[in-house]
Copies of this chain bind each other. A is one copy, B any other.
Amino acid sequence: MTEEIKQTTRARVLEAACRLFAEKGFRDATVAEICDAANANIASVNYHFGDKEGLYDEVWRHAFAITTSAYPANGGVSENATEEDLLYAFASALLHRIFSEEETGLFAKLLYREMASPTLALEKIAEEAIFPQTRLVGQTVKKVLGDTVDDQTLVLCKHSIIGQCAFYNFSRPLRTRIMGKEALTEQELDRIARHIARFSMGGLREIMNGEL
């Protein structure tokens, strides 16, 4: 008996669903397919999760828990670090989430695939998973620009920084063409994170000077 079989039906279905939803999206991953992959009866989804959407909700929760525990948004850096280090830690965490080929990468894949989906329980995801991160960046931005920065500028700077990271999530299908390779080494990923941190520091300083 393999370990796969020993898991509870619920767990097997959940894992299969994570994988298939991330791979094909909500609509294209069928209940039958998921149950098949989980070696479970097709009624399991109804029994354990109510319906397909209930399963989907649980998948989001599961993927979110895994990714945040593996890669906390603050990157494990103390708040006393230099601003560039803070930005680097943030970018590094995001990029790890995006490029991970493991379970820890499922959340970013779901986000990438379903940002456009009408089924996305967006409010909840945003509240739990996205806005805390933007607030984190906001703090760093404020450290550079000073507390007197106006709200609009603050927001624009946050978007500039997050956009640079998120780009690597949403350009997935172009990745081979864009980067010449599928997977990234840890060093390459690090190179990107350092670039984003430095580029952003330059950007922020430029903005700060303009403000004066």
Contacts and interface: CB of A to CB of B under 8 A. Distances in A.
A114 B179 CA distance: 21
Given A115-B170, A167-B167, A198-B210, A156 B203 contact: no
Contacts of A160: 164, 195-196, 199
Given A173-B120, A173-B122, A200 B198 contact: no
A184 to B, nearest CB: 12
A160 B164 CA distance: 5
Contacts of A153: 195
A148 interface: no
Q: Is the interface of A mostly helix, strand, loop or mixed?
A: helix
This chain's copy number in the assembly: 4
Contacts of A25: 116-117
Contact of A198 (B126, B199, B207): B207
A70 interface: no
Interface residues of A, number: 53
A192 B156 contact: yes
A38 interface: no
Interface in A126-152: 126, 130-131, 152
Given A166-B167, A202-B205, 18 more contacts: A24-B118, A116-B116, A116-B172, A126-B177, A130-B174, A131-B177, A153-B195, A156-B192, A156-B196, A157-B195, A160-B195, A162-B167, A163-B166, A166-B170, A170-B170, A198-B207, A201-B206, A202-B203
